[in-house]
Structure 1
Amino acid sequence: MSTTRGYPRWVDHTSLSGTRARAFYGALFGWTFTADDDSIALAGGLPVCGIAEIDSDLVGFPSFWHPYFAIDSLADLALHPPSDGEVVWGPGEYGDGLAQVVSIRDPSGASFSLWEPGTLPGFAAGGDNTPIWFELVTPHTAAVAAFYCELFDCIPSGLGTEESPYRVFTRPDAGPFAGAVAADVDPYWRVYFRADDLESAVLQAESLGGRRESDITDLPLGRSILLRDPLGALFGLLQPIDAPRDASTSAPERSAASPGIDNDNAGYPTTLSL
């Protein structure tokens, strides 16, 4: 897991039923959980995400995954805030001293948080069933890029093919850390978890009550699919290019995409919302 500013540090799932969320993701990914009401999911004994439960009075509140990105100092951020966007909560403590966080809404309306580590540096990365990629979905990829580049000292770049371009946020000192997809929906961030056997993972998710929200799609990073869990939260599975592939499936040729190409939805449904 990188400590570079802007890199994903944490992600959590919020719903009306932590019990149902733990049951689904525990069976799908083999995670175990700490005993707290707002528990930490563990993969191989290492932390990968949080599972939070909101008040049962909020019936109809949508379930969702929420990302946290690295920040060196929230105090420095207060002195030098980004020129656009707004703070919607914080700064405040996450868990019992795990981190200091602040929640932000970007200029397009997508919400995310910043993570200054306390006792928890962030999630364990690199293994199967762990967070592997984060993606902004917004109608305004070009307009919002300046906000993230100022906040995280990054640059936007294009990957993929002319038929299916894809935009990424990249740090010159550490490489890409998140993607951006153009879609005519209310803006939001989504998370992908690594699945070295994508087809088997999809079948397992469906057997547990999940449902497909897209076909399997080729991204510059690998093969992916979007799903909803039984509580309605949207998430993705990603089989990276370096993972084993079905011999009958060949990888598409890839080239640098032109920044001027307007079709920026990477092959996903343009009406899919959180």
Structure 2
Amino acid sequence: MPIHEHYEPGSPCWVDYAALDPEGARAFYGELFGWGFKETGGYEFIHLGDEVVGGFGRVPPGRALPASWNTYLATSDADAVAGRVRGLGGTVVFGPVDAGHDGRLLFAVDPSGAAVGFWQGRWETGIVVVDEPGTWCRHELWADDVAFADAFYGQLFDAPAPPRATWGPRSGLAPLWVTFFGAGDCPAALTAAERLGATITAQHGPATILHDPWGALFALTPL
């Protein structure tokens, strides 16, 4: 399995799920992708076999937030990124804060309204398996103003769209980051997803866009 070991600043490096119904979401994604979940200090790591593929938490109580998949972009300096987010018209929701001994994170909303996280890891190599069935393979920012998104993220990291991240227009939805998960047999995976309560929303090239039973949007794409 390929491990995504090196992260250029601005490139997606982590994904996690914020659950409204943690027990139900574990059952849904566990059956759909064959995932297991291991808790560490109130946060869970998603495993495919023995490998880490992402994180799993819950929507903070008392906040009217939806269930969601969240994309995190790599940075070497979370504090500096927080300042640039504010200076470029975005909003820092929380952080930067230490995440145990592994690094620092912050969560923000870009000027278009898309929520996005940032991760400053303390280790030189990553741990996340990618590009396999049941793992993420890319992320897309869906925004109405592509030029504005390019300017915002380009100024954050002094670089154009990094590998594994693209942005483009998507009518009918509020701006958001979308996680694409790989499937070895897409028709079978889509049948299973619907049986488990997901709703197929649209085709997006070879990928299929779905909402899980709690409304969180994600994509399945053939590998």
Letter paired with 2:84: P
Aligned partner (choices 166, 170, 174) of residue 186 of structure 1 = 174
Letter paired with 2:213: P
Flag the structure with more relative contact order, 1 or 2, with Cα contacts below 8 A and sequence separation at least 6: 2
Distance 2:118 2:56 in 1: 18
Contact in 2 for aligned 1:16/1:56 (Cα 8 Å): no
Instruction: Kindly name which structure, 1 or 2, has the bigger radius of gyration based on alpha carbons.
Output: 1
Aligned partner (choices 141, 156, 164) of residue 177 of structure 1 = 164
Aligned to 1:154: 159
Aligned partner (choices 173, 188, 191) of residue 200 of structure 1 = 188
- Render the CA deviation track for 1:177-212: whole Å, top value 9, x for unaligned: 212121343211110101121111111111111110
Aligned partner (choices 111, 114, 119) of residue 110 of structure 1 = 114
Is the partner of 1:81 in helix, strand or coil? helix
Distance 1:233 1:39 in 2: 18
Structure 2 counterparts to residues 52-63 of structure 1, below 5 A: 52-55=57-60, 57-58=62-63, 61-63=65-67
Cα 1:105–1:23 shift into 2, 3 Å: same
Residue 72 (1) aligns with residue 83 (2): no
Displacement of 1:55 in angstroms is 4.7
Displacement of 1:97 in angstroms is 3.0
Displacement of 1:74 in angstroms is 2.1
Q: Structure 2 length as normaliser, TM-score? A: 0.86
Q: How many residues align?
A: 214
Which ranges of structure 2 fall in alignment gaps of 5 or more residues? none
Distance 1:126 1:44 in 2: 15
Q: Structure 1 length as normaliser, TM-score? A: 0.71
- Please tell me the root mean square deviation across aligned C-alpha atoms, in Å: 2.1
Aligned to 2:15: 11
Distance 2:113 2:65 in 1: 18
Cα 1:149–1:61 shift into 2, 3 Å: closer
- Render the CA deviation track for 1:236-274: whole Å, top value 9, x for unaligned: 0111xxx4xxxxxxxxxxxxxxxxxxxxxxxxxxxxxxx
Aligned partner (choices 26, 38, 54) of residue 30 of structure 2 = 26
Residue 99 (1) aligns with residue 103 (2): yes
Q: Larger helix proportion, structure 1 or 2? A: 2
Distance 1:21 1:118 in 2: 30
Percentage identity across paired residues of the two chains: 31
Displacement of 1:88 in angstroms is 2.3
Contact in 1 for aligned 2:79/2:96 (Cα 8 Å): no
Distance 1:70 1:103 in 2: 12
Letter paired with 1:206: E
Which ranges of structure 1 fall in alignment gaps of 5 or more residues? 156-168, 171-175, 244-274
